[in-house]
């Protein structure tokens, strides 16, 4: 197990990101569950997002394209396995929608009330340690995950300043 000083833990075939946000749990859950919100923060630094369709329900599919800063488009499909509002979202990345399953992992997002704020745990689970290493080498998955959570924090900060 490797624990980084930024609250990221690498554990065999898992990467666990832990962050505290000084906003209510309902708002943190909402920005994970609405494509209008997701388009404002989803992905690593420099990426933008286009949602093709989104069925935010157990078994539902989210079909989207991540537009990289290099001009490359990355098609993605996610299947929501289990949603428990406002406490958790469990989903599986099911490839690019073209029959290719280049990146295979599951994510568990846990939202916990912490006073006035929210503790968030994002756990990415890969089929094996080797698969995590491959995806990290090819796509920079671990740093991308850190940026992803960082962009969530920036967006929540903007929303919190607007509502204050």
Q: What digits encode the pLDDT tens for the residues 45-64? A: 999 999 999 999 999 999 99
How far lies 52's CA from each of 55, 61, 76, in Å? 11, 10, 10
Q: What digits encode the pLDDT tens for the residues 106-142? A: 999 999 999 999 999 999 999 999 999 998 998 899 9
- Domain span including residue 120: 2-163
Q: Is 137 exposed, middle or buried (0-12, 13-18, 19+ CB in 10 A)?
A: exposed
CATH number for 32? 3.30.530.20
Q: What digits encode the pLDDT tens for the residues 92-108? A: 998 775 555 577 899 99
Task: Report how many domains make up the chain.
Answer: 1
Q: Is 122 exposed, middle or buried (0-12, 13-18, 19+ CB in 10 A)?
A: buried
């Amino acid at each position: 197990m490797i624990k980084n000083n930024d609250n990221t833990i690498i554990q065999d075939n898992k990467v666990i990101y832990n962050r505290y946000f000084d906003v209510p749990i309902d708002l943190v859950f909402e920005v994970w569950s609405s494509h209008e919100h997701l388009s404002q923060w989803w992905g690593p630094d420099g990426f933008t997002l286009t949602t093709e369709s989104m069925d935010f329900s157990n078994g539902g599919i989210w079909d989207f394209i991540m537009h990289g800063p290099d001009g490359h488009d990355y098609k993605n499909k996610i299947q929501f396995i289990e949603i428990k509002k406002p406490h958790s979202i469990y989903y599986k990345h099911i490839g690019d929608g073209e029959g290719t399953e280049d990146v295979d992992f599951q994510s568990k997002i846990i939202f916990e009330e912490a006073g006035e704020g929210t503790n968030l745990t994002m756990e990415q689970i890969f089929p094996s340690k080797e698969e995590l290493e491959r995806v990290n080498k090819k796509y920079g998955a671990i740093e991308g995950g850190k940026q992803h959570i960082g962009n969530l924090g920036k967006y929540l900060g903007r929303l919190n300043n607007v509502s204050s």
